[in-house]
Amino acid sequence: MVRLRDLAFALKTPYWRPGDDYLERILEAVRGRIKDGDVITVSEKAISTAMGNILDESGIKPGWAARFIAKYWVRYVWGYVLGLVCHLKGETIRRLRKYPVEEGSIHKEAALRYAGPLYALHWGSEGGIDASNLPYSYVSLPLKKPVETAYRIRNYIKERLGKRVTIMIVDTDKTYSLGKHLHLSPRPSSVEGIRTFLGPLAYIIGRALKLKRRSTPIAVAGLEVPADLALEIAEAAHRLRGSGAGRTVWEMAERFGVSLTGVTWSMLEGVEHKPIVVFKFSTRRSRTKSI
């Protein structure tokens, strides 16, 4: 049986900084490596960073709600109740119980403003907001128009290289599946068949029931891909790409031996980055429907 990972390969690129032309970055990486019918996955965070769709939290002043969430909700509800219900690792639970009140309050204020109250109740990656693999006090925000961005990439490759490919924008945040038809994501996704209305409740349900979890496809342009297959592709892409400097801001800080806000651009540039994965689907085209 052929695995999806056997049909794919990850492409290394320099670290994408704000202001980088992500279209050219992608073009440079895939030139001479793709054919008609290939599926190309691209990290949402890499695109957001290049587009400047990031936020410097250092200038944010937290309100009482953000302070309450950081000091009590994350430390006690997540640290002593929900963390256990969700079968979180012991190290993660210890970190939640010592959640930094000042930096955490600032981050939760950003979550309240840019993701909303429901998402802010999640212990991390609120609605797609993510601080890992970014320096200082920066966090990446979810793309505002992910489908439009996916089509922009697809059309650029078609115009410049003459190749008809499918573009899938993906995120490492997990979607939880019960069978092949019920898929619950704690963050927004435009892929048909992935339910996002529960917000962080999807995370709690999925983790508590130990449902199948896979990385989340955010948008697809070029092929009509069933949700279950899109999730398989997103997860295979994640495993091939790795986690860069770390899966969480804690891991990233520990890797470089600095504080949570002490990581620099140059540190990140020294880490291997693989924001793009190419899937060769010429033998599996029957499983998708062209549009």
- In this structure, the answer to whether residues 74 and 206 fall within a common structural domain is no
* Residue 39 lies inside a defined structural domain of this protein: yes
pLDDT at 1 over 60: no
Q: How many domains does the chain contain in total?
A: 2
What share of the chain in percent tops pLDDT 90? 90
The CATH number of the domain holding residue 196 is 3.30.1330.100
Q: What is the pLDDT of residues 194-235, one digit of tens each?
A: 999 999 999 999 999 999 999 999 999 998 999 999 999 999
- How many whole angstroms separate alpha carbon 35 and alpha carbon 144? 29
Of 64 and 291, more confident: 64
- In this structure, the answer to whether residues 153 and 39 fall within a common structural domain is yes
Please tell me the predicted confidence (pLDDT) of residue 3: 78
End-to-end CA distance of the chain: 28
pLDDT at 281 over 80: no
* Residue 185 lies inside a defined structural domain of this protein: yes
Please tell me the predicted confidence (pLDDT) of residue 195: 97
SS (H, E, C) 72-118: HHHHHHHHHHHHHHCCCCHHHHHHHHCCCHHHHHHHHHHHHHHCCHH
pLDDT at 31 over 70: yes
- In this structure, the answer to whether residues 198 and 248 fall within a common structural domain is yes
Mean pLDDT of the chain: 94
Please tell me the predicted confidence (pLDDT) of residue 288: 41
Give just the sign of the alpha carbon dihedral 187, 193, 197, 199.
negative
- How many whole angstroms separate alpha carbon 203 and alpha carbon 148? 27
Residue numbers of the domain that contains 233: 4-45+146-284
Average pLDDT of the residues in 253-266: 94
Q: What is the pLDDT of residues 115-144, one digit of tens each?
A: 999 999 999 999 999 999 999 999 999 999
What share of the chain in percent tops pLDDT 70? 96
**pLDDT range class, residue 282, cuts 50, 70, 90:** low
- In this structure, the answer to whether residues 151 and 247 fall within a common structural domain is yes
Residue type, 239: R
- In this structure, the answer to whether residues 269 and 168 fall within a common structural domain is yes
